Structure 1
Amino acid sequence: MSVLSMAVDALFDDPNLSRDAVWRANGAGDGLHVRIRRRSPEAIIGVGDNRFDLDAMLVDVRLSEVPSPAKGDTFEVEAEDGEPGGLFEVIGLATIDSHRLVRTCEVAPIAEDDPEDEEP
């Protein structure tokens, strides 16, 4: 194991930086317990005189845990210490780091079914 992979593992094992989650291929099955890092970068893009505030939710996952994440996969993040959890679907794949240790996925929250919305 390289020093870099040990450093990446330390980041993912840190409870202040990473969270427990369950990854499911295509959102189905029992899933696999993994550690993820959630990020929500914000960018302000200017086009002419207009400014657009773009925000996205990104999830970093170790390729040693999820070798090939794909669109349609889900991450169910466990709530802990006042931090909200939730169910997120992978909607886009971004970068793999240059050492092929971490994949960044763009995710979107999946709203859980509200029983009050169902018709009798």
Structure 2
Amino acid sequence: MSVFAAVIDNLFCDPNIARDAVYIADGGAPILVRVVTRCADEITRFGDARLWSDTTRIDLRVAEVPNPRPGDRIEIGTEAFLIQGEPVRDRERLVWTVNLRPA
């Protein structure tokens, strides 16, 4: 295991940073995973206008979810979300960042 992988595992195990969630691939069985939530505002430019939108992003470990796809479901507590857009991996190929929308 690389040093980076060990650090990622520690971050995802920390109860102050990550939390339990359920990942359900389209047509698959539920899997208990750990996620790091990021609810950031996003500003998109459209011509001269700037559009503000509330976003929900999470990080998933590649070791737990090797191939997330748009339409897969994530349940965090009592909230359910669907992955929208293409997931993006980090440079070390250890973490997926995915955009979510309410289910």
What TM-score does the superposition give when structure 2 sets the normalisation length? Answer: 0.88
Q: CA contact under 8 A between 1:19 and 1:37: conserved in structure 2?
A: yes
Q: CA contact under 8 A between 1:95 and 1:104: conserved in structure 2?
A: yes
Task: Show the counterpart of 1:108.
Answer: 101
SS of structure 2 residue aligned to 1:7: helix
Task: Show the counterpart of 2:84.
Answer: 91
Percent same amino acid among aligned pairs?
37
Distance in 2, matches of 1:67 and 1:106, equals: 16
Task: Show the counterpart of 2:60.
Answer: 61
How many residue pairs match? The answer is: 102
Alpha-carbon offset, residue 29 of structure 1: 4.4
Distance in 1, matches of 2:4 and 2:79, equals: 30
Q: CA contact under 8 A between 1:93 and 1:104: conserved in structure 2?
A: no
Alpha-carbon offset, residue 43 of structure 1: 2.8
Residues 1:43 and 2:42 aligned together:
yes
SS of structure 1 residue aligned to 2:5: helix
Q: Determine which structure has more spread, i.e. the larger CA radius of gyration.
A: 1
Per residue, is there more strand in 1 or in 2? 2
Residue-by-residue CA offset, 1:56-94 (whole Å, 9 max, x unaligned): 21111000000000011111112xxxxxx3111111223
Which amino acid in the other structure matches residue 105 of structure 1? V
Task: Show the counterpart of 2:12.
Answer: 12
Tell me the C-alpha RMSD between the 2 structures: 1.5
Residue-by-residue CA offset, 1:25-52 (whole Å, 9 max, x unaligned): 11x444111001111121334542x332
Task: Show the counterpart of 2:2.
Answer: 2
Could you tell me which runs of 5 or more consecutive residues in structure 1 were left unpaired when the two chains were aligned.
79-84, 111-120
Which amino acid in the other structure matches residue 97 of structure 1? D
What TM-score does the superposition give when structure 1 sets the normalisation length? Answer: 0.77
